[in-house]
């Protein structure tokens, strides 16, 4: 459910603007065709960006059409993606996904999602094997242009540090209800921008082990920065206290 515009926290808009100024909504090479985007995300699981972009290209080279891929065994699918690691697991996932999609739509395609509501498309995707809210919302956002907010590891970490959301699950992982609560705090028109830019920030500056707060473009809004530091920075930006 989306709130009236005035009900979203002002700080979310300010952080979004500061991040957009720094990272310019770089899309991390995600794709606009929904099945390709789903396969791209599977290739990216626990894999460095430089490696998963290459393995996805190799997968597409080996199986140029979705039907080529749908007719291949997991063993053959594993070969072109081997360099990215976990190829046995990823190839079985791809095989299971293509079977489930073909069983529902009669062909290896996610194009019918374009005619579904956000809710129905997300329900379809999350019913697929090994597809959770994050992956489903990436497909919806990147490939279908829907105003949803996928919560990946970087978005989750930075949002918690900013105090936008609290974990409700032991171990600190993002539970599905946490993902919904965080999405509900973010104005729909800022969800794409914040998602891609929080990933950039999480990779470059707000890293898991050693955040470089001194270089952070959103430190003014972060509770981790002391009040005195914040006041000094605000004064430096606006010496008259404006």
Is position 161 an interface residue for ligand SF4 (rule: CB under 6 A)? yes
Q: Looking at 59-67, 85-93, 101-109, 219-227, which segment touches ligand SF4 (CB under 6 A)?
A: 219-227
How near is the Cβ of 163 to ligand SF4 at its closest, in Å? 10
* Region from 29-37, 63-71, 81-89, 222-230 binding ligand SF4, contact rule CB under 6 A: 222-230
What number of chain residues touch ligand SF4 (CB under 6 A)? 13
| Nearest CA among 165, 160, 158 for reference residue 18 | 158
Q: Can residue 72 be called a binding residue for ligand SF4 (CB under 6 A)?
A: no
Please state, in angstroms and as integers, the Cα–Cα distance from residue 68 to each residue in 31, 32, 102, 183, 220, following that order: 19, 20, 13, 37, 51
- Candidates 57, 46, 30, 49; CA nearest to 150 is 30
Region binding ligand SF4 by CB under 6 A among candidate stretches 126-134, 147-155, 188-196, 204-212? 204-212
Q: Which residues are catalytic?
A: 134
With beta carbons less than 8 A apart as the criterion, state whether 136 and 126 touch.
yes
CA-CA distance, 218 to 88, in Å (whole number)?
Answer: 40
Closest to 20 (Cα-Cα) out of 207, 201, 177: 201
x/- string (CB under 6 A) for ligand SF4, residues 162-191?
A: x-----------------------------
State how far the Cα of 152 lies from the Cα of 158, in Å rounded to an integer.
10
CB of 109 to ligand SF4, least distance (A): 40
Identity of the residue, 31 or 158, whose beta carbon is nearer to ligand SF4 in the bound complex: 158
Q: Which is nearer to ligand SF4, 139 or 216 (CB)?
A: 216
Residue whose CB is less far from ligand SF4, 66 or 211: 211
Find out whether 87 and 81 touch, Cβ atoms under 8 Å.
yes
Per rule CB under 6 A, is residue 114 in the interface with ligand SF4?
no
């Amino acid at each position: 459910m989306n709130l009236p515009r005035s009900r979203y926290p002002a700080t979310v808009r300010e952080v979004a603007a500061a991040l957009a100024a720094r990272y310019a909504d770089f899309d991390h090479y995600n794709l606009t065709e929904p099945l390709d985007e789903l396969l791209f995300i599977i290739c990216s699981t626990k894999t460095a960006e430089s490696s998963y972009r290459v393995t996805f290209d190799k997968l597409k080279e080996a199986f140029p059409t979705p039907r080529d891929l749908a007719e291949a065994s997991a063993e053959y699918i594993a070969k072109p993606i081997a360099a990215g690691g976990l190829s046995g697991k990823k190839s079985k996932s791809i095989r299971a996904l293509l079977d489930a999609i073909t069983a529902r739509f009669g062909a290896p395609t996610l194009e019918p999602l374009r005619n579904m509501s956000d809710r129905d498309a997300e329900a379809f995707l999350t019913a697929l094997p090994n597809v959770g809210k994050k992956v489903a919302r990436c497909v919806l956002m990147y490939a279908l242009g829907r105003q949803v907010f996928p919560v990946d590891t970087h978005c989750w970490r930075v949002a918690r540090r900013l105090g936008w959301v609290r974990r409700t699950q032991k171990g600190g992982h993002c539970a599905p209800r946490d993902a919904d609560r965080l999405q509900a705090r973010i104005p729909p028109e800022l969800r794409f921008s914040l998602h891609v830019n929080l990933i950039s920030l999480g990779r470059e500056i707000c890293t898991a082990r050693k955040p470089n707060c001194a270089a952070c473009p959103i430190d003014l809004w972060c509770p981790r920065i002391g009040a005195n530091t914040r006041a000094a920075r605000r004064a430096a930006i606006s010496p008259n206290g404006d």
